[in-house]
Every structure is written in structure tokens, then in C-alpha cells.
Amino acid sequence: MRVLLPLLLLSFSLVACSDQREVLIRRPIPGGGGYWVEKIVVKKQPPPRDRGSSRLQSLAFDQGQWHGDHLVGSPRMVISLGEQKVYFYKGGQLAGTSPISSGREGMATRAGSFSVTEKDMHHASSLFGDYVSRDGTVLKREIDVRKDPRPPGALFDAAKMPYFMRITGATGMHEGYLPGYPASHGCIRLPHRMAEIFYHESSVGTPVKIVP
């Protein structure tokens, strides 16, 4: 028994590791002094067995919850800027919730009643990103093309916004980094899995209400 127990533990560790993947997250340094890269380990979520099974039953609460696969009816979303949370409804019933990161100070997300006007699973921003050299070296990070002049010979590397749903002007909902407070250029950032689900559960015309 003394010999078998370490072997069992080792076997379990190897299996557990096979269900994980490493993700690099670019985190801005407070005060606008560039960024640093953090490597985190994310547990892979198993694919859904069928449409009637819960796709987020095992997902941690701080990454959102979804229990709307069995619900029917028209979708709508309510975004609370004060709570930094979005609520997804189907037929008037709460189907899921997710944390968000909305617009930071000076670029605050505008409250009001809107709707999804465009969907693009592989969207890239035409306004925000980095200026890079032709060999890929980053020359200037987190730029706004409307305000930041492009250095001579530099290329614009657009910020990737997967599962993008436009709701007003340049503002939309999409997958992105959530530091736990408003940090975007005005868009509504969501965790990857919730961005994917909300994207597929919504359609052009889905009402979106943003409240303070």
C-alpha cells in the first residue's frame, strides 16, 4: 500500500495536467508604463454533450454562470456598470450572468437602451491596438489611431476582439481581459466562455440595456 499510493497520486497528477493549458495575459502597468506578461494555467472545459446539457455547470462563479439551455424565449441583456456585471435573460427569465470590464475613467461606457447591431466572431478593432515595426517589434502600445500619430514606417497591429457584438457606435461586447475594475476603451469585456455563449445565444436586434 505504501508503494501504490505514490503511484496513484502521480497518475492523478498526470491526468489533471492533461486537462489544463497555459495562457499568456498582457497586463498594463499602472501609470501607463507599458505592460508585463503573466502566465496562468486554465482548466479546459469539456465540450457539451448536447444542447440540453448545461455548458457552464462546473465553471467558477467569478467567471460567470449559465443555466439557460433549457429556457426559451427572446433574449435580452442588462449591463450594470456599478456592479461590473451583465445579466442575460431568455423569455424574461434569468439565463446567465457574467463579470465584465467596462470603460475606464475618461472613456466611460455610455448608459442607455441599445440593441445588437452587428456580430463578428473574429473582429479586430480599427481604432485600438499597437504600433509595430515590420519585424514585429512593438513600438507603441495600446494606441488610439485617432489620437496617437503613427511613427515613420510603423504598422498598425489591431487589437483582437473575439465574439464581438456591436451595440452603439464603436462600443461593443467581446472577449477580453478583466482586471476586476473598469479598464477598457469603452467596450464591454467578457471572459472567454461567457463571451462565446452570449454571442451564440444573441442575434442582431437583441436588446441591450446599460444602467449606471
Pairing of strands 75-80, 207-211: parallel
Identify whether the C-beta of residue 95 lies closer than 8 Å to the C-beta of residue 88. yes
Give the phi and the psi of residue 63 in degrees, each rounded to 5: -105, 5
Could you tell me the strand order of the sheet in which 112-115 lies?
A: 65-66, 93-99, 85-90, 75-80, 207-211, 112-115
147-160 per-residue burial string, b: 16 or more CB within 10 A, e: under 16: eeeeeeebeebebe
The whole-number average pLDDT for the span 65-80 is: 94
pLDDT digits (tens, 9 = 90+) for 195-211: 999 999 999 999 999 99
Q: Which residues pair with 180 in a beta bridge?
A: none
Give the β-pairing of 35-43 and 20-28: antiparallel
pLDDT the model gives residue 48:
40
Q: Per-residue pLDDT for 100 more than 70?
A: yes
Percent of residues, the chain, with pLDDT higher than 70: 71
- Secondary structure element (H or E) that encloses residue 149, with its range: none
Domains annotated for the chain, with CATH where assigned, are: 1-44 (no CATH), 49-211 (2.40.440.10)
Q: What is the pLDDT of residue 14?
A: 36
